Chain A
Amino acid sequence: SQKIEQNSEALNIQEGKTATLTCNYTNYSPAYLQWYRQDPGRGPVFLLLIRENEKEKRKERLKVTFDTTLKQSLFHITASQPADSATYLCALHMGGKLIFGQGTELSVKP
C-alpha cells in the first residue's frame, strides 16, 4: 500500500529564512499531490495542488515541487514569518481519496 513520509522531527527556523519541508512516497505516483496547513485543534486548510505533469507551482511565498522520479515533493516557504508556524501536511490523491502524511511541525522564531 502507499506510504507517505514527511520529516517527522519539528523544523525550527529563524524569521526571514526559507523553510523546506519534504514529502516522500512509495509505490505508484498519484495524479496530484496537495499541501495543507493545520493549526492546533483545527481542520486542515488547503494551500497548493501540483499535478504529476507539473514540476513546480508557486503561490505568493509558497513553492511546491514534484519529482515523480524521486517520488518526492518539496514545500518551500520563503521569507518565513512567525505566523507561518503550524503543521504542514502533504496528501496524495489516489483513487478518489486523499492519503495524508503525518505532517511536519514548523516553528518560525522571531
Chain B
Amino acid sequence: GAVVSQHPSWVICKSGTSVKIECRSLDFQATTMFWYRQFPKQSLMLMATSNEGSKATYEQGVEKDKFLINHASLTLSTLTVTSAHPEDSSFYICSARDPTSGNNEQFFGPGTRLTVL
C-alpha cells in the first residue's frame, strides 16, 4: 500500500520555540493531506485539511496562526507549531489521501511525538 512518512519521529523543544514537522507521501501524489493531534488515551482529533497549492482549512478551535500548514507540493505538507508551549505537547499524525484509490482511503504517517519543556 501507499506509504506516508513523517519527520522527525520525535522532538523535544523549549517553550517559546517553533517546531516544523514534515509529512511526505512516498509513492503517490496527494492533493489532500490531513493533520491530527492525539493526546494519551484519546482519539485522533482533526486539526486541519491541507490542500496542495491553497490555504489549509482549519477545524473549529484550532488556531491557524499557531499551527501553520504549508502544502507546497503534491508529496509534502508541513506543520509548524509556532511559539510552542507545554500544552502543545502531543502526538501529531498526518495522513494523505490517494486520489487514485476508489475508497478515498487515507494513509497515515507514523506520527511525531512533540514534547515542549
Partner of B106, one of A4, A98, A99, A101: A98
Contact assessment for B108 and A43 in the assembled complex, using a CB-CB cutoff below 8 Å: yes
| Complexed CA–CA distance, A96 and B104 (Å) | 9
Number of A-B contacts (CB under 8 A): 49
Interface positions of B from 58 to 113, Cβ below 8 Å from A: 91, 93, 95, 103-111, 113
Contact assessment for B111 and A46 in the assembled complex, using a CB-CB cutoff below 8 Å: no
Secondary structure at the B interface, as helix, strand, loop or mixed, is strand
Contact assessment for A41 and B111 in the assembled complex, using a CB-CB cutoff below 8 Å: yes
When distances are taken between beta carbons in the complex, the residues of chain A under 8 Å from B12 are: none
Interface positions of A from 38 to 75, Cβ below 8 Å from B: 41-46, 49
Contact assessment for B110 and A98 in the assembled complex, using a CB-CB cutoff below 8 Å: no
Q: Does A93 contact B (CB under 8 A)?
A: yes
| Complexed CA–CA distance, A100 and B7 (Å) | 23
Q: Does A89 contact B (CB under 8 A)?
A: yes
Residues of B within 8 A of A (CB): 1, 4, 6, 32, 34, 41-46, 49, 91, 93, 95, 103-111, 113
Residues of A within 8 A of B (CB): 4, 32, 34, 36, 41-46, 49, 89, 93, 96-103
